[in-house]
């Protein structure tokens, strides 16, 4: 069983929270709930209306996308990975399904708690914006890269 201290240490390793003040991280950890999923159990289905983000404490999670009526594993996340944060920050249905591979322990971060935290401590928001912007920049450059490689046939 992990204590708050362990959870805080783990949160700090997540890019999104890396520069948030440790005492705030402790609050985030406290408001998060620990969840355990058995092998093959769905954490959430695609298109469901979840509002939580999850941080993997132990075990692995498979990201599933439907393709031709079949569930296809497109990625596997391991320890310290964060998933589900898109739905946690904005009102969109889950873009993919997530399933436990082996026993999976996660920290569930609820949207209302994240939002409240941002409301209460605006410096958290700055960190979140910074991280999201960094990701957007990465995605944009990735996209440009893909488009470039498409436009220039060999």
Partner 1 sequence: MERNLLKYIWRHSRSKQIWIFIVVLAAMPVYFLMLQLPKLIVNGPIQAVGFETPEATQPFLSISLPFTQYFTDQQIMLFDGFQLQRPSMLVVLCISFLLAVALNGWFKLYINTYKGKLGESLLRRLRYELFDRVLRYPIGKIRQVKPSEISSVIKDEVEPLGEFFGDAFSAPVFLGAQALTGMTFLFLQNTMFGAITLGIVVFQAWIIPRLRRRLLELGRRRQRAARRLSGRIGEYVQGMDDVHLHGVTNRARANIWNILRGILATRFELYQRKFFVKFINNFLIQLLAFIFYLLGGYLVITGRMDLGALVASIAAYKDLPAPIKGIIDWDQQRLMNQIRYEQAVEDFAETEIVPYERQVATDQVLPHIKEGYKLSNITVVDSSDQPVIESFSATLSPREAVAIVGGNDSGAEQVAEVLGRLLRARSGSITLDGNDLDSIAESQTGQRIGYADSNVFYAGGSIKATLAETLPFVGDAAPVIKNASSGADFANYENDVMVSADVDMIYDVDDPVSNPSWPDDAFWPHLLSVMQSTRLYNDVLEFGLLRTLDDEGDETIKASLLEARREFADDKSTDELSGAVEFFDPEKYNHQLTIGENLIFGTPLDAQFNPENLPSNKTMLGVLKETDLMSQLFDAGREVAENNVELFGDLTEDSMLLQRTGGPSPEQIAAMKQMLDRTSGKTVTTAPANDVTAILALAFGYSETQSRFGVLNEALQAQLLNARKKLAETLGAQGNDCVAFLDPARFNPSLTIIDNILFGRIDARRTGARDRVLNAIKKILEERNISETIFRIGLSYDIGVAGRNLTTSQAQKLKVARALLKKPDMVILNRALSALDPVERKAIIHDILSLGSEDGKRQMGVICVPVDNGPWDDFDRVILMEGGRISIDGTPEQVAPRLEMSNA
> Cβ 70 to partner 1, closest distance in Å?
24
> Cβ 136 to partner 1, closest distance in Å?
28
Interface with partner 1, residue 36, by CB under 8 A: yes
Burial of 101 (0-12, 13-18, 19+ CB in 10 A): middle
Interface with partner 1, residue 80, by CB under 8 A: no
Interface with partner 1, residue 47, by CB under 8 A: no
Q: Judged by CB, which is closer to partner 1: 68, or 110?
A: 110
Which residues in this chain contact partner 1 in the complex, by CB under 8 A?
Answer: 1-5, 7, 23, 26-27, 29-31, 33-39, 41, 105, 112-113, 116-117, 119-120
């Amino acid at each position: 069983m992990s204590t708050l201290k362990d959870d805080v240490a783990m949160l700090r390793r997540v890019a999104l929270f890396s520069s948030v003040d440790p005492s705030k991280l402790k609050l985030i950890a406290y408001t998060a709930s620990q969840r355990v999923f058995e092998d093959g159990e769905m954490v959430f289905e695609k298109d469901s209306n979840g509002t939580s983000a999850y941080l993997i404490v132990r075990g692995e999670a498979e990201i599933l996308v439907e393709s031709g009526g079949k569930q296809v594993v497109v990625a596997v996340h391991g320890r310290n990975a964060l998933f589900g944060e898109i739905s946690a920050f904005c009102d969109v249905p889950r873009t993919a399904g997530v399933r436990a591979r082996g026993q999976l322990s996660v920290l569930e971060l609820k949207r209302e708690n994240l939002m409240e935290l941002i409301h209460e401590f605006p410096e958290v928001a700055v960190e979140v914006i910074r991280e999201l912007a960094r990701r957007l920049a990465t995605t944009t450059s990735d996209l440009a890269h893909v488009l470039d490689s498409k436009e220039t046939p060999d």
